[in-house]
Amino acid sequence: MNNELKFDIKQFRVLYLTFRYSQYFPVVLPSAIIIFCVIIVLLFFVPQIDSWFSIQDEIKQTQERISKAKDNLELLQSSNTQNVDADFYAATSALPAQKDFAVILTALTNAASVAEITMDDFSFALGEVSQDSEASESAGTRKVAQVVTSENGMFPVRVSITAGGTLTGVNAFVREIEEKLPLTQVENVDFTEGKAQVTLAFFTRPFPEIILNETEPISLLTPQDKQMLQKLSEKL
């Protein structure tokens, strides 16, 4: 066993000395060192460099988010709260977010009072009818239906009115309804012998889902939006 080990060591020394003083040694040794260094760089230094660039990108993105959040905060702080509340009130008065029958009845009653006509009968129809319920009241019969469709994101509340009065009074009633809020579309008017059948459409529009994103700047009202809100405010 010892003889075999000594023989292997001698053989290894012979091979080493042969290679050491051969013409390939000056080329192989530097090449091996270079390859070893490249492997070290690829295994240890390149990941560190990539990590550094990733950290720099995250820092830059975070700084951008902070900058946009500051801009949004400054915009909110510089806004006139009273003007914002007034614009919101005008918009929701024109297009309520929910179906408010009290608001509709108030608008109809006020218009009828101004036009000096009487409302003998009225009925509600909310979109396409899928379910009806009737309730008798001293002022007339009210039919309530469930909404199943919308028009351009707006849900119509159609009202059919049987009114008594003169043709001039009915025209004044229609004008008063169109000039006041909530926004109303006159779909049909039939007048015969002191009686008028008027079909109106009031509209509601639910608030859209609000998803807060600190990276997005707050959108300002355009001049067209402000002009529209001003016109709506004049109808209040």
Task: Tell me the CATH number at 124.
Answer: 3.30.70.60
69 and 152 in a single domain? The answer is: no
Q: State residue 216's pLDDT score.
A: 81
pLDDT tens-digit series, residues 24-65? 777 777 888 888 888 877 777 777 777 888 888 888 888 888
28 and 65 in a single domain? The answer is: yes
65 and 156 in a single domain? The answer is: no
Look up residue 20 and give its two tokens.
Answer: 């050491």
213 domain residue, yes or no: no
Look up residue 50 and give its two tokens.
Answer: 């990539």
144 domain residue, yes or no: yes
91 domain residue, yes or no: no
Q: State residue 66's pLDDT score.
A: 87
100 and 200 in a single domain? The answer is: yes
DSSP, collapsed to helix, strand or coil, labels residue 109 as: helix
Phi-psi region of 191 (alpha: psi -120 to 50; beta: other; left: phi over 0): beta
131 domain residue, yes or no: yes
* Count of domains observed in the chain: 2
Low-confidence ranges of the chain (pLDDT < 70): 1-8, 12, 16-17, 19-20, 126-151
Q: State residue 151's pLDDT score.
A: 59
Q: State residue 234's pLDDT score.
A: 84
Q: Computed from CA positions of residues 77, 79, 83, 88, in that sequence, does the dihedral angle turn out positive or negative? A: negative
Domain limit, last residue, from 78, 109, 140 = 78
Q: State residue 19's pLDDT score.
A: 67
Q: State residue 2's pLDDT score.
A: 56
Q: State residue 3's pLDDT score.
A: 56
113 and 66 in a single domain? The answer is: no
232 domain residue, yes or no: no
211 domain residue, yes or no: no
106 and 190 in a single domain? The answer is: yes
User: By residue range, what is the domain housing residue 5?
Assistant: 1-78
66 and 144 in a single domain? The answer is: no
216 domain residue, yes or no: no
Q: State residue 133's pLDDT score.
A: 38
